[in-house]
Structure 1
Amino acid sequence: MVDTSGSRITGTLMVQGTTSDAGKSLCVTALCRILKRKGISVAPFKPQNMALNSAVTNDGGEIGRAQALQAEACGLALSTDFNPVLLKPNSDMTSQVIINGQAVSELDARRFGNIKELAFEQVLAAFERLKQQYDVVIVEGAGSPAEVNLRKNDIANMGFAEAVDCPVILISDIDRGGVFAHLTGTVNVLSASEQARIKGFLINKFRGRIELLQDGVDWLEEHAEKPVLGVLPYIMDLRLDAEDGINRALHAGNLVNPDQKSVRIKIPVLPRISNHTDFEPLMNHPNVILEYIEAGGDLAGADLIILPGSKSVQADLNYLREQGFDHQIKRHLRYGGKLLGICGGFQMLGDTLSDPDHIEGHQGSSEGLGLLSMTTTLAPSKQLKNVRGSTVDSDTEVSVVGYEIHCGISRGAALDRPLFLLCDQNEQQYTDGACSEDDQIWGTYVHGLFDKAEMMSHILSWVSGKTFHSEDWQVVRERELDRLADIYEQHIDLNKLFEIIQSH
């Protein structure tokens, strides 16, 4: 556990950003992989995350997808300590609150300030546990510390940094424009102690000749009296899990040369679409063109339509009908197309959806698409499972690995034709999913279906009748983590960074 100069590295570093999507998550991911490669015991930490993409820990908890990727960069099994508070928006005005991996409450916009009272002690306790276990903890902020309206109850940025007395570096996205204003403006709205806590800047997503930026870098260092630790290039075609929003760059790249791809997949973008990281391996497949279809779009021409997961299934089902996607799906089936429903999308395929405890709102119950003979009832306890297993009725047994995150319990005759025989982390065995009698429709609660090459090839063969070679997404992810770390090592001053980490 030594750095390149031979001295042991211990301490904490927090990465904050001038805006959302400034590059905090990938920065923490890169630094974690760099430190791991140097033999340093390192763990990621995000006090509070807000995202609909999540992952399941080995002990049946739930954390943000970005922290799962960061843990992988460290070579660690997933732990709820990496992300003790996760907020999952149910609507524009309410969020489910997950503390230490379990849903405990729901907050509306008027009560959001209560999050500090509700969760800060748990945040600090999780951080202290990590400090005891690892030499270095790399902390990711949330949004921006310049959101002055949120400072009173902040547990995610300077409120956390001040409480634990850790140094901060500030990253900003130059691709948006105004990077010097973003950096200096953020510093200027902070208190004196918070300003002193910022030990350096990172400029992210720079394109062009670095010498043309140098005058600005010199001015920034003189004006702010803080070093610029690195200028990071715009990284093209990075194939890593998106933290929350759809990976638009990967999507755009996938749409190139459609005539050279033999399987066309379309996915309607639901207002509360969740865990769409399920589909990033498909966008990396050389034989697949995957299109996300927005409001008013057309599902025609697809070989496979996928109904994705949803945080608010009945509301998103209403949206499908409002857009006329339900009629398009039925026309697709009449012409022999295939349909796959995952998690909330699977629930939509049944006859009815019931929410007697108003977990997702006040609708109570609604009609499903009526494509599978089953009913789903939402229950307060959430199913959080890491699963493994195999197909039930395929010609050759195909293995499946993934995870489940859902509140619904489905019952009905359709489940007598299951897709998978699964085993969860507690060694409980059960069947999952359903297959229509004509084999056109599959439904499952398992996320991460396409991560393994064997299952991805199996599903693509079901859709097209052809044989495909696929690559494990884990192999791609590891390769991309090292590529990201290589770029950061090349463009940041690691010696200064290590000094900052050890400064407190």
Structure 2
Amino acid sequence: MQPTIRALMVQGTTSDAGKSVLVAALCRVLARKGVNVAPFKPQNMALNSAVTADGGEIGRAQYVQALAAGVEATVDMNPVLLKPNTDVGAQVIVQGKAVADMNAIGYQSYKEFALPFVMESFTRLQNEFESVIIEGAGSPAEVNLRENDIANMGFAEEADVPVIIIADIDKGGVFAHLYGTLALLSQSEQDRVIGFVINRFRGDLSLLQPGLDWLEKKTNKPVLGVLPYLHGFDLEAEDAINSDQVASDDIKLNVVVPVFPRISNHTDFDVLRSNPDINLRYVGQGERLDKADLIILPGSKSVRNDLAHLRSQGWDKDIARHLRLGGKVMGICGGYQMLGNTVSDPLGIEGEAGSSIGLGYLDLETELAPEKTLTNVSGCMTLGGQSVDVSGYEIHAGVSKVQSNPLIMLSDGKTDGAISDCNQVVGTYLHGIFDAPNVPNTFAAWLGIEKVATVDHAQNKQDAIDRIADAVESHINLSLLWPELDS
């Protein structure tokens, strides 16, 4: 079936309005109908990323949306990814590879630089797929960013695609958000908006109906549907940390994760957070790393700066005390590098050039290099006398020389990670290491804790996508977008 609307863009009135989830849901709905569909986001700004099969880096949301569409993720689905490494700067990743720093390009010339790559990737997807569902970024009503926009209406105008706008009623002011967003667009941009979606509604829809009627009359645009608030809905967040817990009253394992200013790929911990036997606690500025069986140092986009932040918070002292009392510590990617002896950045890859003394719990030295490691890997991890198959993905600029015993034997014959002689500290470059069902129990055994519940993280993601897709099919008038879907 060739859809009448071959490309559709979802823009939002605010960040976290539900754009990523709605795109995933529409991809799943179309895939169910037999449509060969792909997701697309022209420009993403996020520290949560994924590695495609061809060794490129894209935003994690587009990876999940590809999963929803039932297709393999490619770098064309997110041709421009910005990864902030300072408050004013970001690494620019184009079609999967880091090419420049935003400061080097200059914001005023950024659109001229990036737009050709965006349109090239979009054209390839349109040639390969019957339909492309596009996600905007932030809000199209950010008038200060209009001139250089390639993420919202700037792209929609260039590609000549229709737009729907979604707003989150749970934030309050939903009619002001929708009406005001539309009013701030140019006439040509307003003309390409074909309808609105209201997200996360709770209560009696009849009480909302007068507002819907008012909005349609004032804007002459249809409200395509009102999506309900889905309690317990859990799908990977694009950037905001999801700290919701499903832990029961009978906790077996307490895990603490410090939140660095440039924390990356915190989706590593979603499988732990969703385990009823595990209490996962994120610790922020001014809080202590305490009451833990296991402390995990997460990934970082700015390892040396985040290491300095760790020390400024006194977390290095908390870790030392935790180890003295017999606790265990783990590091993933940037957190792994911090656990070593030194982290050097002679070329200023992640900030000011220089070298930092690490925490010294693992015998390794890391030097940041211009070429990133981007790869999907698998292997066998041996920990606490148990062996378990693991898989994951590596995204890092650092090259580590390791003297400690390796943690993982990779399937290609190489090794990954390290384990301390005292058996209390481990580190790995593998993001997603906890996702395989048996891995959390291997860590539990290492910690001397009885078996924890087994969670099928991959199936949980599929179930969450199906759940929001079911809601879209039930509550959005899809025949206004694709009349042929009902045939």
Deviation at 1:354, TM superposition (A): 0.5
The 8 Å contact of residues 263 and 464 in structure 1, kept in 2 or not, is answered as: no
2:244 corresponds to:
252
Q: Tell me how far apart the structure 2 counterparts of residues 440 and 207 of structure 1 sit (CA, whole Å).
A: 47
Residue number in structure 1 paired with 2:403: 413
Partner of 2:143: 148
Question: What secondary structure is seen at the aligned counterpart in 2 of 1:183?
Answer: helix
Q: Which amino acid aligns with 1:72?
A: L
Contact 1:13–1:500 (CA under 8 A) maintained in structure 2:
no
Q: What secondary structure, in the 3-state scheme, does the structure 1 residue paired with 2:29 have?
A: helix
How far apart are residue 500 of structure 1 and its match? 11
Matched, 1:470 2:454: yes
Q: In the alignment, is the contact (CA less than 8 A) between 1:9 and 1:135 conserved in 2?
A: no
| Structure 1 residue 394, shift from structure 2 partner | 5.6
The separation in 1 between residues aligned to 2:254 and 2:305, in whole angstroms, is 27
Q: Deviations over 1:50-86 (max 9, x none)?
A: 0000000011100000000000000111100100000
Alpha-carbon separation, structure 1, partners of 2:319 and 2:397: 25
Q: Aligned partner of 2:306: which letter?
A: D
Amino acid at match of 1:29: A
1:346–1:445 CA contact under 8 A, matched in 2 = yes
Q: Is the 8 A contact 1:449 1:456 kept in 2?
A: no
Count of matched residue positions in the alignment of Structure 1 and Structure 2: 485
Match of 1:222 among 217, 224, 238: 217
Residue of structure 2 in register with 1:422 after alignment: 410
Distance 1:381 1:77 in 2: 24
Task: Identify the range of structure 1 (153-162 vs 109-118) with the bigger mean alpha-carbon deviation.
Answer: 109-118
Q: Which amino acid aligns with 2:406?
A: P
Alignment RMSD (CA, Å): 1.6
5+ residue gaps, structure 2, are: none
How far apart, in 1, do the equivalents of 2:104 and 2:226 lie?
37
* TM-score, length of structure 1 as denominator length: 0.94
Q: CA deviation at 1:471?
A: 1.9
Superposed, 1:20-419 pairs within 5 Å as 20-108=15-103, 111-247=106-242, 251-254=243-246, 257=248, 259-392=249-382, 395-414=385-404, 417-419=405-407
Letter in 1 for 2:462: E
| TM-score (norm. length: structure 2) | 0.97
Q: Which residue of 1 aligns with 2:480?
A: 496
C-alpha distance in 1, partners of 2:265/2:122? 26
Measured after TM superposition, the shift of residue 45 of structure 1 is 0.3
The corresponding residue for 1:5 is none
User: Partner amino acid for 1:419?
Assistant: L
- In 2, Cα distance between equivalents of 1:133 and 1:237: 36
Write the distance in 2 (CA, Å) between the matches of 1:491 and 1:303. Answer: 44
Give 5+ residue unaligned stretches, structure 1. Answer: 3-7
Distance between the aligned counterparts of 1:169 and 1:83, measured in 2?
20
Partner of 2:433: 449
Distance 1:276 1:412 in 2: 25
- What displacement does 1:499 show? 4.8
Which residue pairs with 1:438 in the alignment? 422
| Cα displacement (A) at 1:150 | 1.1
Residues 413-469 of structure 1 deviation map (CA, whole Å, 9 limit, x = unaligned) = 21xx1011114xxxx431000001121111000000111111122122212342234
Give the drift of 1:395.
Answer: 3.6
Deviation at 1:231, TM superposition (A): 0.6
Q: Does the 8 Å CA contact 1:346/1:443 hold for their aligned counterparts?
A: yes
Distance in 2 (CA, whole Å) between partners of 1:330 and 1:433 is 21
Cα distance in 1 for partners of 2:4, 2:161 equals 15
CA contact (8 A) 1:93 1:109 kept: no
Aligned amino acid, residue 244 of structure 2? A
